[in-house]
Structures are given as structure tokens and as C-alpha cells.
């Protein structure tokens, strides 16, 4: 389970944490682990037998993570991959689809719209819609996009999960709808076309006019109904309130005349209070391929243990697609023998933890590039990946995920700018005014000041490198990583005081001390020095790994309080630079951040859609493709016999 446009939720962080965590993986099984270089095929996972029409496929939901919200204008408190990619997207398709075939890129074949056309110096975007229909027979038209955009302009700042001040829809000056199949976005400033497509247009979902109402009474509106309420700001807010209220009645999801109007490949047949969701094909689906299955069922689970038990007792008949939580990797062979292909799929995310650059005592030290570089040298990334995570992780040395592979990742980042080296870390500290740099000692600042060989501006003489690192409880992987880091750090005189707290407490601390939080990182309330919630960031549904949400000065998720003019400039270039410069700008930003290490990067656990798990695909399930952004496409699936 992951929250979207948010911190990536740590393995076992949500749901039954403690009960599962006590059993999680150790280095004992690493000898049998599969190669870390294998992150699954770019096409469908091969199936055995001959394809059959119809049948029911069962998909395992993440532990304690059923879908909870159906209205695609998703509000922040229910903003999660389950609600987007595993639920609403199956029924209500966004303008553009991303991530199929294990690739973090756009997929026009699955999109409602044709590729956008740019003009006016990249200030105007024209989008034409394909000939899709809603299940009530009405065409998917520009009016449906207008309905969405009206709601964006009126309600996004308070009610939309993906809203960031200054970005979509604030960066749109106006809209025009020349005909039923054409939508034109007039932007306030030139934008990079790739960025605007991946991070802004990606979030637009046409909504049927049948939803354009403020109450359940009266006839169902149609595009020809006069004075539809969405055309005024007050009216569309009332429409939002009505639809949001309807969306809180989960018992009515499968029977509501509202939610039964779909343009995606699936319609909802049932939705139980425990989170079991059954879809049937939408016969009016305008895209391709059409579903082969006659039913697609998402099965809820309460815990990792319950998942394992069901896999081992029911096998592929009970779960066509499941995920074996990492703590049970030693049982992988026996699980495969039940009739599964095990694949080490991953999603498009990175793992890191922040140091509080605003901490009154240690902020001046953490703000020094040399210190962050030295600290990154202490992360035994290959050791963690192989010995603690058993090979089921992706190397992470910067802001762009290395897997699923893309043209955005640079060789500089791939090659780990700061490889594990105690001696290099010690050398760096010694060269910057620290004494007692060695095992059994606590490094002490001997030369405070801003000079090249001094501890840094704001540091004080006698300051000792002894600080707290709080990490999420309930995950043995995280605990082992932190114990290892403490051990390595002690070799250079850094005394890490490790403490644990539940995931929610760790993340609450980080969130509330971010630039946009309840307190500034430098405030007295924010006394934390380092916090590790066991994961990092998932790029969805902002699919391009640019840094405006993470490392731009004042960004909402810049928990460490990092601020750097050069980084800001490079981030701006990725969001507003010329189309021809997309890749160079991307790599310039990426290399700079990898060099700057504003956060401490560490290997990212594989697993998709649930992190820290191995995908299990029934040998009799064909057409399964990995979506880099955790979006499901069961319309490609089929059963074999």
C-alpha cells in the first residue's frame, strides 16, 4: 500500500505492523535470493496452457488496504494507490495512461486522449479525445473534461489530493473547448511538454455529465441540459459536495446510478464492507484491449500472515495474482510450487531518510555538503541490499528511480557517487576540522567556522557528533539497516542514538516540521535530528521524477528543510525547460541532487503494488504486465487451461 504523491509507505508500516514485523527477514536466506538485477519482464509474464475466454481472476489487496473511495476527484485523506490505480482507474480513465509494460512512461494506447499537441512556445496544449463512450451511451467529450476542470478551478485547493500551490490548475490561465473532441489548455508560462504531460495532464479524468448535479432528485442531467451547475463556481462546489457525500456511502457503490456510469474497461458489480471488490467488463468500453475475464475480484486481507496462509492453502485458485511479503521469502520455493511464477517487480519509487537541516544544534553540521557526503559514505548500500533485503531491492543513489528502467536515469547516479567507505568518510571529517574521528571515540569539532577546512558556519567548538536517529518500529529490515548504520558510523566517531516509534509517529514528526508543516524545521518543536520511516517517495500520479515536490525550496515534502538556489534552478528547468532539453535538464537536476545528497539515500524495496513483497502470478494467468505506477490493467489478463 502506498499513498500517492506522498511519502512511500514503509514495508509493513500500515496495517498490522508489530505482529508481522517480528518475523521479518534476516540475512539467513540471502544465499537463496534471486538476482537483484532481475526486475521482471517488460512484456506479459508467460503463462502455461491455452487461453480461455471468461473466468474469474482474483487479485490480492495489500494488508489492511482495501479501496475506500470511488469518486475520482480524490480528496487528500483518501489519497492512495488503492483508490487510484486499483479502483477508480478501472472504471474512470484519466486522459493519459502511464506505466504499462514495466516502463515509467506514457502509454497512448490505453489513454482516452491522443498525444497532446504543443504550440505558442509551449504555452498552449491541445488535446483531442478518442471516440470513447460512457456506459450510458453518451460520448466521452470535451464537456466531460470541462466538468473536471471546472471542479479543479473551484475546489482543488481544498479538496483535491494532488494539489500543490502554483502548479495544476494554478498554472493554467484559461481553457477552451473548440469542439466536442478538443480541449485546449492555455498556460500562464511555457512548460516542459514532458513534465506537463506526466505530472499535470496525467491527473485529469473526464467526468460524465450524469454526475453534474447537486442532489439525487430530478432527472439525470445530459450534455444538453441547460444551466448545468458546474458552470459556476458556487454550483460546481455544490456538485463536489454532493458527489463527495455520495462517495462516503460505500454501501451504495455497486448500486448507485451515479457510479455505474463508466468509461473504463470495468464496471463495479459488488463492493462489500470488508473491501472485497468485484468488477465485470464494461461492454461499452471504447479502448483496447477489451477484458477477456468475465470477472475480476479484489480480495481483502488483514495481514501478511493471512496472505501467506491463503496462498499456501488456496493457491492460484484463490489468488490469481498475489504478493509474498518479504519476511516469507524463505518459503518462496514452496509457494512457487503451488502454481505461481515469482517475479521481482518494482514500482517507480525511491527510499531515503531526511536529516533535519534546521535542527538548532546539528542543523549547521547537516547543512554542510561535506558532512552529508561523509554520512552517505557510511551507508553500506550493497550490503543492505544483499544481506538485509535479500536482493529484493533497487539500488538508490539519487532522486530518479533506477528501476523500472527509463531514459531519465543517469550513469552518474547509477554509479553511486558516494560508495560505502569508512575511510573516505573519516578522511572527509578529518579534513573539515573534526578530531577523534575513529572507532570508540566521538568526533568533536575542533575548528568551527566557514572555512574550507573547518566544521562549517554556525558550528561550535567542542560540538560532538552524537545525535538521535528515530526509525519506524515493527520492521526488522529497517531495524537491521539502522543498526548497521550505527555500527558503521561509530567507526568514524559518529554516535547515533537509535530510537524507535510507530510509523505514524515518525512520519507525523517529519511532516509537521516540514517547510509547510505546523512548525519550521528550526523551531523548538522540531528537535528531531534524523527520521527514517523505512521508505521514501513514490512517483505517482506525478509520474516524472522531478523534484518540485521534494527538494525545491519550501516544497511540502522537503522534510529536511533543504534549500539550494542551484537545485531550485535545475528543478525549474525540468518543469519549464524546452522540450528538446528534457533529458539533459533531467539529468542535470538528478546529478546535482545525487551529488548534494539533501537526504540519505538507501536501497528501495521491490514489490508492486505493495512494497517489500514478491509478485506471484498464477501460471494459468496470462497477459499480466507490471505497471510502474501501481495501476492495474486486468483487461489484459486472461486465464489458461
Partner 1 sequence: MTGYIIRRIGQAIIVILGVTMIAFLLEHLIPGGIARAILGPRATPLSIAVWNKRNGYDSPIWYQYWIFLDHLVHGNLGFSYKLNRSVDSIIANDLPRDVLLVGTSLVLAVIIAVPVGVMQAVKRNRALDYAGTATSFVLYSMPSYALGLILIALFAITIKALPAEAPQGTTIGSMLAHPSGLVLPVATLTLVTFALFSRYMRSSAIESLAQDYIRTARAKGLPERKVLQRHLLRNSLIPVATLVGLSLPAVLTAGLVLEYLFNFQGLGLEYFNAATTDDFPVMLGITVLIGFATVLGNLLADIAYAVLDPRVRY
How does DSSP classify residue 530?
B
Cell readout for 44 is 506479459
Question: Toward partner 1, which CB reaches closer, 27 or 505?
Answer: 505
Pick left, alpha or beta for residue 19 (phi over 0 → left; psi -120 to 50 → alpha; otherwise beta). Answer: alpha
Question: Toward partner 1, which CB reaches closer, 69 or 132?
Answer: 69
Question: Toward partner 1, which CB reaches closer, 308 or 465?
Answer: 308
Q: Residue ranges of the alpha helices (H) in 275-399?
A: 304-314, 332-336, 363-366, 369-377, 381-383
Residues in the chain: 641
Contact string (CB under 8 A) for partner 1, positions 160-179, x = contact: -xxxxx--------------
Question: Toward partner 1, which CB reaches closer, 300 or 395?
Answer: 300
- Taking the complex as a whole, the smallest distance from the CB of residue 14 to partner 1 amounts, in Å, to 6
* Longest pairwise C-alpha distance within the chain: 79
Reduce the DSSP state of residue 506 to 3 states and report it: helix
Q: Does 409 bind partner 1 (CB under 8 A)?
A: no
- Taking the complex as a whole, the smallest distance from the CB of residue 439 to partner 1 amounts, in Å, to 36
Interface residues for partner 1 in 264-283 (CB under 8 A)? 272-276
Reduce the DSSP state of residue 168 to 3 states and report it: coil
DSSP letters spanning 471-485: EETT-HHHHHHHHHH
Question: What are the φ/ψ torsions at residue 124 (nearest 5 degrees)?
Answer: -130, 130
Question: Toward partner 1, which CB reaches closer, 75 or 421?
Answer: 75
**C-alpha distances in angstroms, 528 versus 92, 470, 514?**
42, 8, 12
Question: What are the φ/ψ torsions at residue 324 (nearest 5 degrees)?
Answer: -85, 115
Question: What are the φ/ψ torsions at residue 635 (nearest 5 degrees)?
Answer: -65, -15
- Taking the complex as a whole, the smallest distance from the CB of residue 57 to partner 1 amounts, in Å, to 17
First to last CA, the chain: 31
Q: Tell me the window of 256-264, 394-402, 492-500, 555-563 that interacts with partner 1 (CB under 8 A).
A: 555-563
Question: Toward partner 1, which CB reaches closer, 181 or 270?
Answer: 270
Q: Tell me the window of 96-104, 112-120, 154-162, 178-186 that interacts with partner 1 (CB under 8 A).
A: 154-162
- Among 2, 19, 323, 630, smallest CA distance to 11 is for 2
Q: Which of 38, 174, 309, 453 binds partner 1 (CB under 8 A)?
A: 309
| Distance separating alpha carbons of residues 403 and 344, to the nearest angstrom | 11
- Residue found under cell 503451488: 338
Q: Tell me the window of 95-103, 300-308, 371-379, 580-588 that interacts with partner 1 (CB under 8 A).
A: 300-308
Q: Which of 310, 336, 446, 495 binds partner 1 (CB under 8 A)?
A: 310
- Taking the complex as a whole, the smallest distance from the CB of residue 166 to partner 1 amounts, in Å, to 11
Contact string (CB under 8 A) for partner 1, positions 98-117, x = contact: --------------------
Q: Residue ranges of the alpha helices (H) in 319-436?
A: 332-336, 363-366, 369-377, 381-383, 411-414, 422-430
Reduce the DSSP state of residue 217 to 3 states and report it: coil
Question: Toward partner 1, which CB reaches closer, 291 or 315?
Answer: 315
Question: Toward partner 1, which CB reaches closer, 168 or 434?
Answer: 168
Question: Toward partner 1, which CB reaches closer, 393 or 549?
Answer: 549
Residues whose CB is less than 8 angstroms from the CB of residue 201 and which lie 6 or more positions away in sequence, other chains included: 95, 96, 116, 125, 127, 185
- Among 9, 2, 1, smallest CA distance to 507 is for 9
Interface residues for partner 1 in 473-512 (CB under 8 A)? 502-504, 508-512
Q: Which of 313, 337, 411, 580 binds partner 1 (CB under 8 A)?
A: 313
Q: Tell me the window of 110-118, 246-254, 258-266, 401-409 that interacts with partner 1 (CB under 8 A).
A: 246-254
- Taking the complex as a whole, the smallest distance from the CB of residue 269 to partner 1 amounts, in Å, to 15
**C-alpha distances in angstroms, 350 versus 605, 610, 611?**
9, 14, 11
Q: Does 337 bind partner 1 (CB under 8 A)?
A: no
- Among 354, 73, 91, smallest CA distance to 237 is for 73
Q: Tell me the window of 48-56, 159-167, 409-417, 424-432 that interacts with partner 1 (CB under 8 A).
A: 159-167
CB 508 within 8 A of CB 341: no
DSSP letters spanning 283-322: TT--SSSPP--SEEEEEEES-HHHHHHHHHHHGGGT-SEE
Question: Toward partner 1, which CB reaches closer, 17 or 262?
Answer: 17
Kindly state the number of chain residues that form the binding site for partner 1, as judged by CB under 8 A: 63
Interface residues for partner 1 in 45-84 (CB under 8 A)? 64, 68-69, 76-79
Interface residues for partner 1 in 223-242 (CB under 8 A)? none
Residues in contact with partner 1 by CB under 8 A are: 3, 5-7, 13-17, 19, 64, 68-69, 76-79, 157-159, 161-165, 247-248, 250-251, 272-276, 300-303, 305-306, 309-310, 312-314, 502-504, 508-512, 514, 516-519, 525, 549, 556-557, 559
Amino acid at each position: 500500500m502506498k499513498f500517492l504523491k506522498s511519502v512511500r509507505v514503509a514495508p509493513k508500516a500500515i496495517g498490522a505492523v508489530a505482529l508481522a514485523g517480528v518475523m521479518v527477514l534476516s540475512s539467513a536466506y540471502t544465499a537463496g535470493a534471486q538476482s537483484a538485477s532481475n526486475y521482471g519482464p517488460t512484456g506479459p509474464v508467460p503463462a502455461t496452457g491455452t487461453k480461455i475466454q471468461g473466468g474469474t481472476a482474483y487479485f490480492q489487496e495489500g494488508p489492511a488496504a482495501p479501496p475506500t473511495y470511488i469518486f475520482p476527484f480524490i480528496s487528500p485523506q483518501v489519497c492512495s494507490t488503492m483508490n487510484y490505480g486499483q479502483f477508480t482507474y478501472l472504471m474512470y480513465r484519466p486522459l493519459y495512461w502511464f506505466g504499462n509494460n514495466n516502463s515509467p512512461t506514457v502509454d497512448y494506447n490505453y489513454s482516452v486522449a491522443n498525444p497532446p499537441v504543443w504550440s505558442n512556445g509551449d504555452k498552449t496544449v491541445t488535446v483531442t479525445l478518442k471516440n470513447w463512450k460512457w456506459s450510458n451511451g453518451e460520448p466521452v467529450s470535451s464537456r466531460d473534461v470541462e466538468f473536471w476542470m471546472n471542479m479543479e478551478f473551484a475546489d482543488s485547493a481544498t479538496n483535491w489530493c494532488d494539489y500543490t500551490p502554483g502548479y495544476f490548475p494554478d498554472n493554467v490561465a484559461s481553457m477552451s473547448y473548440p469542439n466536442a473532441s478538443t480541449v485546449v489548455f492555455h498556460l500562464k508560462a511555457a512548460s516542459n511538454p514532458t513534465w506537463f504531460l506526466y505530472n499535470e495532464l496525467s491527473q485529469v479524468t473526464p467526468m460524465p455529465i450524469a454526475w453534474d448535479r447537486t442532489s439525487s432528485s430530478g432527472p439525470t442531467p445530459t450534455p444538453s441540459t441547460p444551466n448545468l451547475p458546474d458552470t459556476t463556481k458556487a454550483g460546481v462546489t455544490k456538485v463536489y459536495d454532493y458527489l463527495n457525500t455520495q462517495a462516503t456511502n460505500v454501501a451504495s457503490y455497486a448500486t448507485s446510478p451515479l457510479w455505474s456510469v463508466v468509461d473504463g474497461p470495468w464496471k463495479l458489480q459488488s463492493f462489500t464492507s470488508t473491501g472485497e471488490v468485484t468488477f465485470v467488463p464494461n461492454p461499452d468500453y471504447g479502448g483496447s484491449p477489451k477484458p477477456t475475464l468475465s470477472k475480476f475480484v479484489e480480495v481483502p486481507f488483514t495481514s501478511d500472515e493471512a496472505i501467506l496462509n491463503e496462498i499456501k492453502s488456496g493457491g492460484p485458485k484463490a489468488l490469481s495474482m498475489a504478493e509474498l511479503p518479504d519476511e516469507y521469502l524463505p518459503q518462496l520455493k514452496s509457494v512457487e510450487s503451488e502454481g505461481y511464477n515469482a517475479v521481482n517487480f518494482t514500482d517507480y519509487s525511491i527510499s531515503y531518510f531526511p536529516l533535519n537541516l534546521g535542527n538548532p544544534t546539528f542543523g549547521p553540521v547537516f547543512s554542510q555538503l561535506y558532512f552529508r557526503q561523509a554520512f552517505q559514505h557510511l551507508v553500506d548500500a550493497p550490503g543492505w541490499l544483499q544481506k538485509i533485503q535479500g536482493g529484493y531491492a533497487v539500488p538508490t543513489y539519487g532522486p530518479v528511480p533506477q528501476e523500472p528502467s527509463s531514459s531519465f536515469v543517469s550513469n552518474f547516479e547509477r554509479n553511486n557517487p558516494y560508495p560505502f567507505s569508512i575511510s573516505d568518510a573519516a578522511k572527509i571529517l578529518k579534513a573539515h576540522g573534526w578530531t577523534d574521528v575513529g572507532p570508540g571515540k566521538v568526533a568533536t569539532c575542533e575548528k568551527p567556522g566557514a572555512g574550507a577546512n573547518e566544521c562549517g558556519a554556525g558550528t561550535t567548538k567542542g560540538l560532538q557528533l552524537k545525535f538521535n536517529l528515530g526509525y519506524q518500529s515493527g520492521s526488522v529490515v529497517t531495524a537491521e539497516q539502522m543498526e548497521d548504520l550505527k555500527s558503521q558510523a561509530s567507526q568514524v566517531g559518529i554516535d547515533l542514538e537509535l530510537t524507535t516509534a510507530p510509523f505514524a509517529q515518525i512520519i507525523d514528526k517529519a511532516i509537521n516540521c516540514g517547510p509547510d508543516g505546523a512548525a519550521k524545521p528550526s523551531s523548538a518543536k522540531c528537535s528531531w535530528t534524523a527520521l527514517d520511516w523505512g521508505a521514501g517517495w513514490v512517483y505517482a500520479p506525478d509520474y516524472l521524477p522531478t523534484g518540485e515536490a521534494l527538494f525545491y525550496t519550501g516544497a511540502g515534502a522537503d522534510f529536511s528543510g533543504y534549500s539550494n538556489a542551484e537545485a531550485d534552478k535545475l528543478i525549474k528547468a525540468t518543469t519549464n525547460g524546452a522540450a528538446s532539453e528534457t533529458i539533459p535538464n533531467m539529468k542535470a537536476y538528478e546529478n546535482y541532487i545525487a551529488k548534494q545528497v539533501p537526504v540519505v539515500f538507501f536501497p528501495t524495496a521491490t514489490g508492486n503494488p505493495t512494497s517489500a513483497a514478491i509478485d506471484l502470478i498464477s501460471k494459468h494467468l496470462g497477459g499480466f504486465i507490471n505497471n510502474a505506477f501501481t495501476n492495474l490493467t486486468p483487461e489484459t489478463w486472461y486465464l489458461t487451461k
